[in-house]
Structure 1
Amino acid sequence: MNHITRTLLHLTMAFTLAAGGCAPAGSAEPAPAPSASAASSFEWATYTGPEGTRRYRLFIPAGYETWFPPPLVVMLHGCTQDPDDFARGTRFNALAESAGAIVVYPEQTAQLHPQKCWTWYDAANQRAGSGEAAIIAGITREVMARYAVDPARVFIGGVSAGGIMAVNTAASHPDLYAAVGVHSGAAYGTATDLPAALAAMRSGPANPDALVEPARAILRASGRDWLPMIVFHGGADAVVNVENGRRLASQWAVAGGAKDFLRSEEQIGGLTVVKDRFGPATELWIVQGLGHAWSGGSPEGTYTDPRGPDASREMLRFFLSHPRP
Structure 2
Amino acid sequence: MDFSKFSKTPPHLKEAMELMKAGRLKEATTLIQSNLNGVAADNNTDTNTDANTNTMKDVTPDKPKLEDSAAKTAKSTNKEKPVSTDKPSSEPFNKLSDTLQDIADKMKDFKLDLPAAMDLSALGSGATTHSEPDIPANAQFLKGTLKSAQGNHSYRLYIPASYEQALQKDLSLPLIVMLHGCTQSPEDFATGTRMNELAEENQCLIVYPSQPTSANPNRCWNWFQPSDQHQGQGEPAWLAALTRSIIKDYAVDSSRVYVAGLSAGAAMAIIMAEAYPDLYAAVGVHSGLAYRSATDLPSAMMAMRKGSSASSSPTKNGKFVPTIILHGDQDHTVSIRNGEQIFEQAKQRLQAQKSDLNTQQHQCGSKQNRRSTQLEIRDNKGNSQLKYWKIHGAGHSWSGGSSAGSYTDPNGPDASKEMLRFFLSH
The yes-or-no answer on 1:265 pairing with 2:363 is yes
Identify the residue that residue 374 of structure 2 maps to in structure 1. 275
1:164 counterpart SS class: helix
Q: 1:243 matched to which residue of 2?
A: 337
Distance 1:117 1:319 in 2: 25
Cα distance in 2 between the residues matched to 1:61 and 1:271: 30
1:9 corresponding residue in structure 2 = none
Q: 2:200 aligns with which of 94, 97, 107?
A: 97
Give the equivalent residue in structure 1 for 2:83.
none
How many residues were matched structurally?
277
Partner of residue 218, structure 1: 318
Matched, 1:301 2:405: yes
* 8 Å contact kept, 2:287–2:328: yes
1:313 maps onto 2:417 in alignment:
yes
Q: Following the alignment from structure 1 to structure 2, what is the Cα–Cα distance between the partners of residues 188 and 261?
A: 23
Matches within 5 A, 1:191-206: 191-206=294-309
Q: Does structure 2 conserve the Cα–Cα contact (< 8 Å) formed by 1:79 and 1:118?
A: yes
Contact 1:53 1:135 in 2 (8 A): no
- Which one of the candidate residues 225, 228, 243 is aligned to 2:322? 228
Query: Counterparts of 2:343 and 2:188 in 1: how far apart (Å)?
Result: 27
Q: Paired residue for 2:8?
A: none
Give the Cα–Cα distance (whole angstroms) in 1 for the partners of residues 266 and 151 of structure 2. 21
Q: Distance in 2 between matches of 1:286 and 1:213?
A: 22
**How far off is 1:38 after superposition?**
7.2
Is 138-147 or 277-286 further displaced after alignment? 277-286
Q: Tell me the SS of whatever aligns to 1:128.
A: coil
Look up the SS of the partner of 2:182 in the other structure.
coil
Q: In structure 2, what residue type is equivalent to 1:61?
A: P
Deviation at 1:260, TM superposition (A): 6.9
Q: Which residue of 1 aligns with 2:140?
A: 41
CA distance in structure 2 between the partners assigned to 1:285 and 1:251 by the alignment: 15
Mapping 1:5-20, distance limit 5 Å: none
Provide the residue aligned with 1:286 in structure 2: 390
Alignment match, 1:32: none
Q: Is the 8 A contact 2:258 2:423 kept in 1?
A: yes
Q: Helix, strand or coil: the match of 1:263?
A: strand
CA deviation map 1:89-132 (0-9, x unaligned): 00000001110000000001222211110000111111111000
Kept in 1: contact 2:177–2:208 (CA 8 A)? yes
1:255 maps to 2:349:
yes
- The answer to whether residue 76 in structure 2 is matched with residue 76 in structure 1 is no
Deviations 1:1-33 (A, max 9, x none): xxxxxxxxxxxxxxxxxxxxxxxxxxxxxxxxx
Which SS does the other structure have where 2:318 is aligned?
A: helix
Alpha-carbon contact 1:277-1:284 (below 8 Å) kept: yes
Contact 2:362 2:373 in 1 (8 A): yes
* Alignment of structure 1 residues 133-144 onto 2, 5 Å: 133-144=236-247
**Does the Cα contact within 8 Å between 2:285 and 2:325 map onto a contact in 1?**
yes
Ranked by relative contact order (alpha carbons within 8 Å, sequence separation 6 or more), the top structure is: 1
Per-residue deviation, 1:293 = 0.4
Cα deviation 1:180-235 (Å, max 9, x = unaligned): 0010001111111111111000001113xx22231x5312xxxxxx3100000011
2:314–2:346 CA contact under 8 A, matched in 1: no
**1:276 to partner: Cα distance:** 0.4
CA distance in 2, matches of 1:309, 1:58: 26
Query: Which protein is bigger by CA-based radius of gyration?
Result: 2
Mapped to 2, the partners of 1:134 and 1:149 lie a distance apart of: 20
- AA aligned to 1:47 is L
- Displacement after TM superposition at 1:279 (Å): 3.3
Give the equivalent residue in structure 2 for 1:58: 157
CA distance in 1, matches of 2:256, 2:240: 15
Q: In the alignment, which residue of structure 2 is the partner of 1:7?
A: none
Other structure's SS at 2:267 match: helix
Per-residue deviation, residues 236-261 of structure 1 (Å, max 9, x unmatched)? 00000001011102211221107773
- The root-mean-square deviation of aligned C-alpha atoms, in Å, is 1.5
SS of the counterpart of 1:118?
coil
Matched AA of 1:58 = L
Which residue is 1:85 aligned to?
Answer: 188
Q: Does 1:188 align with 2:291?
A: yes
Displacement of 1:148 after TM fit? 1.3
**What is residue 212 of structure 2 aligned with on the other side?**
109
Matches of 1:186 and 1:125 in 2, distance apart? 14
State TM-score, norm by structure 2.
0.63
Letter in 1 for 2:338: N
